[in-house]
Every structure is written in structure tokens, then in C-alpha cells.
Structure 1
Amino acid sequence: MTPRLVLPKLILTDIEGTTSAIAFVKDTLFPFAQAELDAFLAARGTEPEVAAILAEVPGPDQAATLRGWMAADAKVTALKSLQGHIWAAGFADGRLRGHLWPDVAPCLRAWHAAGVALAVYSSGSVGAQKLLFGHSAEGDLLPLFSGFFDTKVGGKRDAASYAAIAAQKGQDPAQILFLSDVAEELDAADASGMMTCQLIRPQDGTVASGRHRRAADFPGVARLFNLPLPA
């Protein structure tokens, strides 16, 4: 792959395995949603917003369908939206705090201060994304971001999804840098014309694909793409 040396105008980042530990999602958020599912459906299942999500869940036993999707870690928009609502209660009362690797928030702040736009693209719902960054262990980081995207824009391994994000942001894909730990997602972003960098965090056991530039942390990304480092 030929390296691109254009300074990114927009950085689009994944969450799980990139800004945050895979274990946080797997060992904290997913079990929380599973444990709270029945009580949430009983208390709020008839609310219009929740009912609209449940209308997309097939089968006579919707709770069973949802649990099946949870067990399979299915990338189903209805499931992700519902999980976001369940997590909202936990973030609101302090039972949950969004995990970020220590290097992430300082770099995001430095890049934002330098005029680089920031956006998120994750299989988790936009609502869940905002909860994580709005109630992170590093404080409220929502003001740093100008966009949030989930699977409603398309699958993360589909080049058309990245083209759609670029179009919505009014940016040339060649001026967007996508950060992810998943090589196949990076392949799709690259196919759309974006710059790419694979995060290889030893704590998450990510394996380098060899097809993309790679960095162990966000300062490493900054050095590769001539982005500012935190003071």
C-alpha cells in the first residue's frame, strides 16, 4: 500500500479496541445490558422510542431474540439501539463510566485544538457512543466531536459506508484518516479512498495485518501522520 502523506482534515475513529479496551465492552457493558434487559423491557417497553425499536425485533418472545443476539454479539441496529438505552441509565447514575486508554483523550484534545475535525464510526449505536464519550473516565469529551455514525450508515466492512460518511461530512475521503483495530474495516475505508491506521494495542491482543500503517497508541498515530502531540 502506498503511504499517503496528506495531513488529515478529519479523523474518524472506531471505539472498541481503538479508543477503549475490548474488555470494557465485553466484560462491563454487555453484561450490564443483559442483566438489566428484563427490568428495562418491563418498565419502558411501551415508551414510543423503545416500542419503535422493539418493532424491529422478530419472534413471539422478543426478550429471547434479544438475548440470542447478545450471545452472538450480533451487529443488529435494533439490539445496539436498545443496549444504548439500557446503558444510559447506568451512565446517568454513575454505575458506568466510559473507559478510554490514557493516551486517547489528550490526543483528541490536541487534534481538536489544532483544527482537525473528529468523528466516530462504531457498530455501537450513536446513543451508546455519546454515552461513552460524554461520561468517560476523562470527563465529557462530546464537544470535541462533530459527528457520530453507526450501522445505520452501513456495515463497517463495506466501502460504501465510508464513502457515505465522507459525503455527509462534506470531505474528500483522501483527507480523512480512519482508525480501527480491525483490518477488514480498514480495508473497506482504504477502498473508499481514506487514509488508514491499525491500532495494535498489546492489551487487546490485536494482530497486525501488514496491509495498513499501524500504531500502538494515539501518540503513535500522531507521529505517523504529522498530527500534533499533547503538550
Structure 2
Amino acid sequence: MGSHGGRAGDTVVQQPPAACLFDLDGLLLDTEPLHGRAWREAARHFGVELSEARLLQLRGRRRLDCAAAVRGWLQRDAGLTVSDEALLAVQQPVVRALLPAARPIPGARRLLEHCRDLGLPAAMVTSSTAAAAALKLSPHPWLEALLPVRVHGDDPDLRAGKPEPDPYLLGALRLGVPPDRCWAFEDSLAGARSAAAAGCTVIVLVAEAVEPDGFPPGCRRVRHLEEVLADWPAPCDPSAALRTGG
């Protein structure tokens, strides 16, 4: 995928996808602020305030990977040695209470339905555990119906989580499509790096006012999922390429 300046709307995707892979948190459901609130409250319980920059570092990562990062900050900032269990005992009740209220990201349902109408195989590739994903999806049966193929953060076939390529390699494998023929939709640095390392074409939803540095070269950045829908071929023309910036 070529890029001109790396900004939303500047990229031309030359090849249409044979399949699509979708992150969940922050891409389909607006859960990232809720996760951030829970991690912030957990750290605050131990006397440490997490900055927005640190919360951004947690996005897209598995629960235990996030816990390891927060434990490191507690040790560095306050000299505290806290176990995963103690940290999660504070964080998990908060996040479980918040997540059922998560709303869909604008354009998410239309994007998934467009993939279905094009006949494209699709899978969810999430760092959430199967139980956490079920909690988030339960108020949104359309998500469960449109993405029955899933890779979870605690998947027994997964050797490493995002930003390693394993989650997207496994997602492509389960769809029976080579990774380099897949479009991967992400919103986090960890997720974008994972998808790019797997060989996918990466489209990143960047909803923050300030874009974080470090996205892999060639990622297409969009501010709204509707940007992808506006440029994608209609269901009657599945062979056309997505064109932007023209």
C-alpha cells in the first residue's frame, strides 16, 4: 500500500482485499476510554496517576500485558511491588461494570455489513479474552452475527499477542486467506504493528486529536470509518480497488 505523507486521505490502496480482519476495542466498540478509566483507577488505588501517554501505550494489548506495564510503572514511580492478581482485583470489577455500556463506533456496523454484502470473509482479531469479548458483544448481537470467526487474546492457538504478528497470522489462517490479501482494521499502535508484521494491508482509525508516533510505514490513516465506506467499491463491483486522494 503506497503512502503520500502518511495522513488520512493521502493513500491509494492498489489491491482490493480477499478478506478483512477487525480489531474490536476502539475500532468497532468505543471501549478504549472505559479500559483506560479502569487502569487509571487501579493505578490510583496504589497511589500512582497514569498519564494519557501511558494509557495510549496500553491500547490494543492483552490484559496481562497491560498489567505487566502498569506494575512496571508502579515500581518505577512509587517503588511498589504489586502482583498481577492484586492489580486486576481492582481493575476488573471497574471495567466489567463499564463495558456493557460501550457504544458502537460510528460506521462500524455499515462497514461490517458492506464486507458481508461483498462476500468477503471476515474475522475479529482482539486482545480481549473470550469472556471479556462476550461481555462486550452481548448488547450488540449484530457484531456476533457478522463476525463469527474470532481470535481472542487468550486463544489456545495464540503464542504471542499484539504487537507481535501472531494474532493476525492466526486470523488469516482461520479464514483460509494469505495475510497479504487481507485488510486489517485497527486503532492502536500495538494492533497496527501486529497487522503490518503479519503482512496485512493496514487501515488505522485515528480518532485522537493528536496522532501518536510510531505507526508502521504504509498504514492508511482515517479519522472516521465512513471514509473507508465512501471509497470502497459498491457490492456490485467487488473487483474494483479502493481509491483515495484523487
TM-score normalised per structure 2: 0.59
1:196-215 map, 5 Å: 196-202=202-208, 206-207=211-212, 209=215, 211-215=218-222
Aligned to 2:21: 12
Residue-pair matches, total: 180
Which of 126, 138, 155 aligns to 2:130? It is: 126
Flag the 1:165–1:141 CA change in 2: closer, same or farther, 3 A. Answer: closer
2: CA distance between counterparts of 1:133 and 1:117? 19
Aligned to 1:24: 34
Flag the 1:140–1:165 CA change in 2: closer, same or farther, 3 A. Answer: closer
Is the aligned partner of 1:115 residue 2:99? no
Is the aligned partner of 1:96 residue 2:96? no
2: CA distance between counterparts of 1:96 and 1:174? 34
In the alignment, structure 1 segments of 5+ residues that lack a partner are 34-63, 74-82
1: CA distance between counterparts of 2:183 and 2:191? 13
Query: Displacement of 1:65 after TM fit?
Result: 4.0
Flag the 1:170–1:104 CA change in 2: closer, same or farther, 3 A. Answer: same
Contact 2:124 2:171 (C-alpha < 8 Å) held by counterparts: no
Flag the 1:32–1:13 CA change in 2: closer, same or farther, 3 A. Answer: farther
Which of 138, 143, 146 aligns to 2:145? It is: 143
Contact 1:162 1:192 (C-alpha < 8 Å) held by counterparts: yes
1:150-229 map, 5 Å: 150-152=152-154, 153=158, 154-202=160-208, 206-207=211-212, 209=215, 211-226=218-233
| Stretches (4+) displaced over 6 A | 29-33
**Which has the larger share of helix?**
1
In the alignment, structure 2 segments of 5+ residues that lack a partner are 3-11, 43-82, 236-246
Contact 1:117 1:145 (C-alpha < 8 Å) held by counterparts: no
